[in-house]
């Protein structure tokens, strides 16, 4: 059992090392941030998620859809946790098509909690045509879909720079340090003070980038906090189980372990008695 336990620990140790080395490899070029949602105890910073929603809505949503999000998600546990009233008020700012009514006509009405986030363009072709031939990817799972996740998105938003001398850029193409190939067809979306945060936070490019990135990570992993809690419980459960199994193994096997010596002792005693009685060494008997 102990050998098995040691082997198990060894395997866990090796895989942790190689996994972190591997993820280090993936992320090595990106800007590092101490995200609150990383690690097994990670949780989102509510205020940051709420600000992130504001940045997404006021800036990014002009081009990027988030088709898997509904307005009700904004008030759910583990997310930005707006109150139901706030989420309803947010939804009501948008118009969605509904119908048909009794006359067979489609009509527009204010969005409700159950509606999906309103898209900036009706389809991929329309958004590609409006953005110089480049499709602004849907944001609901973007953070999960890109290697590097949060660090990649944050770095990309911070990565606009003057191109190095001699670097050719076509019209509508911008230099970005972190985009593969360093060319991106999205102009720098964030400028100092672009949004007016209602909680008084300074809207620097860095702050907005962090907030919107956290929001996008939540959008792609809305149950992250619940999963972290569950993972923690599972580990505690396994530790208790392992301890119990180890203890019962010790108990069961103790019966066998203790037997050896008395057996030999008994044999020695018998041998001695026989030798005394016969006056000879029993081993020489034929
Ligand atoms: C004016 C339209 C527009 C706005 C506003 C905009 N984007 Fe984009 N975005 C694009 C387009 C177009 C692309 C595709 C660029 C390409 O493929 O070269 C893109 C690409 C991206 C990518 C790279 C995705 C990938 O393929 O790896 C990220 C990340 C991104 N945008 C984030 C944001 C964020 C965050 C905001 C808001 C702060 C934002 N964008 C605002 C048009 C926009």
Strands 174-175 and 95-98: unpaired
* Rounded distance from Cα 250 to ligand 1 centre (Å): 60
Mind listing the pLDDT tens digit for each residue in 41-53? 899 999 999 999 9
**Residue 174 three-state SS:** strand
Distance 193 CA to ligand 1 centre (A): 19
Q: What is the mean pLDDT of the chain?
A: 89
In this structure, the residue with its CA closest to atom 28 of ligand 1 is: 153
Whole-number Å distance between alpha carbons of 132 and 113: 33
Residues 33, 210: contact at Cβ < 8 Å? yes
pLDDT band at 255 (very low <50, low <70, confident <90, very high): confident
| Residues 241-246, mean pLDDT to the nearest whole number | 97
136 CA to centre of ligand 1 in angstroms: 5
Distance between Cα 186 and ligand 1 center (Å):
5
- Comparing 102 with 5, the larger pLDDT belongs to 102
pTM: 0.81
- More confidently predicted of 25 and 208: 208
Testing ligand 1's pocket by substitution, the residue of 63, 145, 146, 157 carrying the most ligand atoms inside 8 A of its CB is 63
H or E element that contains 101: none
Ligand 1, atom 33, lies closest to the CA of 60
**What does the pLDDT read at residue 84?**
97
For 49, residues 6+ apart whose C-beta sits below 8 A from its C-beta are 79, 80, 81, 211, 214, 215, 218
Distance (angstroms) between ligand 1 centre and the Cα of 110 equals 27
Q: Is the pLDDT of residue 219 over 90?
A: yes
List, for residues 93-113, the tens digit of each pLDDT value.
999 999 999 999 999 999 999
Measuring from each residue's beta carbon to the nearest atom of ligand 1, which residues come in under 6 Å? Answer: 55, 59-60, 62-64, 131, 134, 136-137, 146, 153, 156-157, 184-186, 189-190, 212
Site to substitute for ligand 1 among 54, 121, 189, 213, most atoms within 8 A of C-beta: 189
User: Please, which pLDDT band fits residue 276 given cuts at 50, 70 and 90?
Assistant: confident
pLDDT band for position 256 (50/70/90)?
confident
Whole-number Å distance between alpha carbons of 199 and 181 = 38
φ, ψ (nearest 5 deg) of residue 142: -60, -45
**So what's the pLDDT on residue 13?**
67
* Ligand 1 midpoint to CA 19 (Å): 30
Q: By alpha-carbon position, which residue is closest to atom 37 of ligand 1?
A: 60
**CA 4, chain centre distance (Å):** 31
Q: 56 and 71 in contact (C-beta within 8 Å)?
A: no
Q: Which of 31, 51, 53, 64 to mutate to test the pocket of ligand 1 (most atoms within 8 A of CB)?
A: 64
> Which sequence spans correspond to the domains of the chain?
1-30, 236-278
- CA separation for the pair 139, 52 (Å, rounded): 13
pLDDT above 90 covers a percentage of the chain that reads: 77
pLDDT band at 279 (very low <50, low <70, confident <90, very high): low
Of all residues in the chain, the percent with pLDDT exceeding 70 is 85
Contact 57, 139 (CB under 8 A): no
Mean pLDDT lowest among 70-84, 107-121, 247-261: 247-261
Residue 100's pLDDT is 95
Residue pLDDT, tens place only, 178-204:
999 999 999 999 999 999 999 999 999
Arithmetic mean of pLDDT, 31-40: 93
Of the pLDDT bands very low, low, confident and very high (cuts 50, 70, 90), residue 22 is low
Distance 53 CA to ligand 1 centre (A): 16
**Smallest Cα–Cα separation from 140: which of 123, 156, 117?**
117
**Atom number, ligand 1, closest to the C-alpha of residue 183:** 18
């Amino acid at each position: 059992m102990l050998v098995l336990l040691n082997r198990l620990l060894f395997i866990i140790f090796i895989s942790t090392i190689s996994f972190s080395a591997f993820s280090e490899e993936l992320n090595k070029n990106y800007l590092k941030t101490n995200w609150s949602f990383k690690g097994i105890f990670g949780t989102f910073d509510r205020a940051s998620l709420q600000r992130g929603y504001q940045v997404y809505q006021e800036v990014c949503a002009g081009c990027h859809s988030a088709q898997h999000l509904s307005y009700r998600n904004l008030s759910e546990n583990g997310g930005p946790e707006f109150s139901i009233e706030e989420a309803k008020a947010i939804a009501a700012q948008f118009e969605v098509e509904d119908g048909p009514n009794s006359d067979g006509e489609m009509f527009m009405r204010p969005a409700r909690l159950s509606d999906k986030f309103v898209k900036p363009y009706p389809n991929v072709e329309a958004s590609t045509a409006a953005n110089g031939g480049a499709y602004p990817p849907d944001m609901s799972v973007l953070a999960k879909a890109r290697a590097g996740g949060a660090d990649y998105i944050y770095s990309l938003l911070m990565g606009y720079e003057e191109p190095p001398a001699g670097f050719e850029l076509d019209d509508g193409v911008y230099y970005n340090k972190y985009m593969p190939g360093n060319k991106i067809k999205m102009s720098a979306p964030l400028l100092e003070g672009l949004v007016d945060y209602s909680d008084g936070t300074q809207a620097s490019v860095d702050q907005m980038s962090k907030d919107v990135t956290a929001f996008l990570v939540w959008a792609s992993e809305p149950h992250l906090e619940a999963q972290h809690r569950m993972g923690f419980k599972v580990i505690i459960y396994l530790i208790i189980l392992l301890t119990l199994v180890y203890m019962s193994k010790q108990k069961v096997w103790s019966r066998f372990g203790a037997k050896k010596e008395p057996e030999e002792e008994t044999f020695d005693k018998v041998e001695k008695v026989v030798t005394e009685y016969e006056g000879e060494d029993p081993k020489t008997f034929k």
